[in-house]
């Protein structure tokens, strides 16, 4: 039989109200009574009805996380960090993926609302500023990614241009002069920002910016990296690149694989750097240099902004948080073996 507040109160010798105050975390309970209630809670195995408690507070107890593709390690790792941060604030997380398609992103925004979740953390690929009108009035939404700058919503991102510039500059500092980029995609705002950073680094170093060295990718998976690298090597036979910057780690792993299959040595013949700081980069062969956004900071900042917006329930004072990033250099560019 499930224990009730009344059962706990009778065992502890206190009022039901005192038990409720302890269960709900109110500070103003005498220490001796709190100890009695905590002992009675443990003895009876009482478990609060989270759903009922959230309804009394005007909350569902759930947040939504909307991402393009959980098959990309970055989003899988980020989802785990968001779940951990949300749970510490008393929320469960519902996850939806959109494949970066605008219609599905719009559908997610339109279908979300206070009857289903308390707020949403959304990582869009194709939304434009006017799409914000699809968000229900007063509903807390935090957008992830620099491509959402100018949207009238809270936002957490990194400086993609600066990060891509740093990755490309690393290759330049190693003496590479024919640096390719894999991942150009006009439908992906993130890819366009990283292309911008790549071009800036080349221009600042006095190196030519050659369209032939920019390879498109329909999506950001390993096979796309294989095909893009194969295209570069076939098209530029005799003038192949001596380095390549990839828009994410999966593209870089695919590119690295194709380079090795083609008989190239990494990094002696061609250096490869990725983007995302995924675990896959650390354990590829050779281990992959990569731009690593602080995913923990992104997750905790997004949940904090949702919490603050839920508490205020207003549309004022939108916050723009820039999370840090680091360039993790490994054997795919430096030739130095890690242990």
- For 41-66, the pLDDT digits (tens) are 888 887 765 544 544 455 688 999 99
β-strand partners of 288: none
Q: Give the pLDDT confidence score for residue 338 in this predicted structure.
A: 63
Residue among 163, 227, 218 at smallest CA distance from 195: 163
Q: Give the pLDDT confidence score for residue 24 in this predicted structure.
A: 67
- Average pLDDT (70-84) is 94
Report whether pLDDT(172) > 60.
Answer: yes
Report whether pLDDT(214) > 90.
Answer: yes
Token pair recorded at residue 2: 């499930």
- Average pLDDT (81-85) is 94
Q: Give the pLDDT confidence score for residue 149 in this predicted structure.
A: 59
- Average pLDDT (143-166) is 86
For the entire predicted model, the pTM comes to 0.80
Do 60 and 54 touch, CB atoms closer than 8 A? yes
Report whether pLDDT(223) > 70.
Answer: yes
Over residues 89-120, the pLDDT tens digits come to 889 999 999 988 888 888 887 777 667 889 99
Q: Give the pLDDT confidence score for residue 240 in this predicted structure.
A: 92
- Return phi, psi of residue 214, to 5°: -105, 120
β-strand partners of 19: none
Over residues 173-211, the pLDDT tens digits come to 999 999 999 999 988 888 999 999 999 999 999 999 999
Peptide bond into 286 cis (omega under 30): yes
Q: What percent of the chain has pLDDT over 70?
A: 90
d(CA 50, CA 60): 9
| Dihedral class, residue 88 (left if φ above 0, else alpha if ψ from -120 to 50, else beta) | alpha
Q: Give the pLDDT confidence score for residue 147 in this predicted structure.
A: 64
Report whether pLDDT(88) > 50.
Answer: yes
N- to C-terminal Cα distance for the chain?
A: 55
d(CA 291, CA 277): 6
Work out the burial of residue 216: count CB atoms within 10 Å of its CB; fewer than 13 is exposed, 13-18 middle, 19 or more buried. middle
Q: Give the pLDDT confidence score for residue 313 in this predicted structure.
A: 60
Mapped onto helix, strand or coil, the DSSP state of residue 200 is helix
72-86, 115-129, 232-246, 275-289: range with lowest mean pLDDT: 115-129
d(CA 298, CA 145): 10
The CA distances from residue 111 to 54, 106, 335, in Å, are 21, 9, 50
Domains and CATH numbers, the chain: 5-48 (1.10.260.40), 61-158+294-324 (3.40.50.2300), 160-293 (3.40.50.2300)
β-strand partners of 120: 64, 141
The arrangement of strands across the sheet holding 320-322 comes to 92-97, 62-67, 119-122, 141-144, 154-157, 320-322
Token pair recorded at residue 79: 């989802």
Do 58 and 310 touch, CB atoms closer than 8 A? no
The CA distances from residue 203 to 2, 160, 165, 207, 326, in Å, are 69, 17, 10, 6, 22
- Average pLDDT (156-182) is 97
Q: What percent of the chain has pLDDT over 90?
A: 58
Q: Give the pLDDT confidence score for residue 55 in this predicted structure.
A: 47
Taking all residues of the chain, what is their mean pLDDT, rounded to a whole number? 88
Most confident range (mean pLDDT) of 139-148, 182-191, 325-334 is 325-334
Long-range contacts of 30-39 (CB under 8 A, 24+ apart): 36/12, 37/8, 37/12, 39/12
């Amino acid at each position: 039989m499930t224990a009730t507040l009344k059962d706990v109160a009778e065992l502890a010798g206190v009022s039901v109200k005192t038990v409720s105050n302890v269960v709900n975390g109110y500070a103003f309970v005498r220490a001796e009574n709190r100890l009695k209630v905590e002992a009675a809670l443990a003895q009876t195995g009482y478990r609060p009805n989270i759903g009922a408690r959230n309804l009394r507070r005007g909350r569902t107890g759930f947040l939504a996380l909307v991402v393009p593709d959980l098959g990309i390690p970055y989003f899988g790792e980020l989802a785990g960090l968001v779940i951990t941060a949300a749970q510490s604030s008393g929320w469960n997380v519902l996850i939806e993926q959109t494949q970066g398609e605008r219609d599905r992103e719009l559908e997610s925004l339109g279908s979300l609302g206070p009857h289903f979740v308390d707020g949403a953390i959304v990582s869009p690929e194709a939304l434009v500023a006017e799409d914000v009108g699809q968000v229900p009035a007063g509903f807390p939404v935090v957008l992830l990614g620099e491509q959402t700058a100018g949207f009238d919503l809270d936002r957490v991102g990194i400086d993609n241009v600066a990060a891509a510039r740093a990755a490309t500059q690393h290759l330049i500092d190693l003496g590479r002069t024919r640096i390719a980029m894999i991942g150009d995609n006009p439908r992906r705002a993130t890819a366009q920002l990283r292309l911008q950073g790549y071009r800036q680094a080349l221009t600042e170093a006095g190196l030519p910016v050659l369209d032939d060295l920019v390879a498109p990718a329909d999506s950001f998976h390993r096979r796309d990296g294989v095909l893009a690298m194969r295209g570069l090597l076939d098209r530029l036979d005799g003038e192949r690149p001596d380095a390549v910057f990839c828009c994410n780690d999966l593209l870089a792993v695919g590119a690295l694989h194709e380079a090795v299959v083609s008989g190239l040595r990494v990094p002696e013949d061609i250096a490869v750097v990725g983007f995302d700081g995924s675990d896959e980069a650390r354990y590829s062969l050779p281990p992959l240099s990569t731009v690593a956004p602080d995913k923990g900071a992104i997750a905790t900042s997004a949940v904090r902004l949702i919490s603050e917006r839920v508490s205020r329930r207003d549309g004022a004072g939108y916050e723009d948080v820039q999370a840090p990033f680091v360039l993790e250099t490994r054997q795919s560019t430096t030739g130095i073996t890690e242990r």
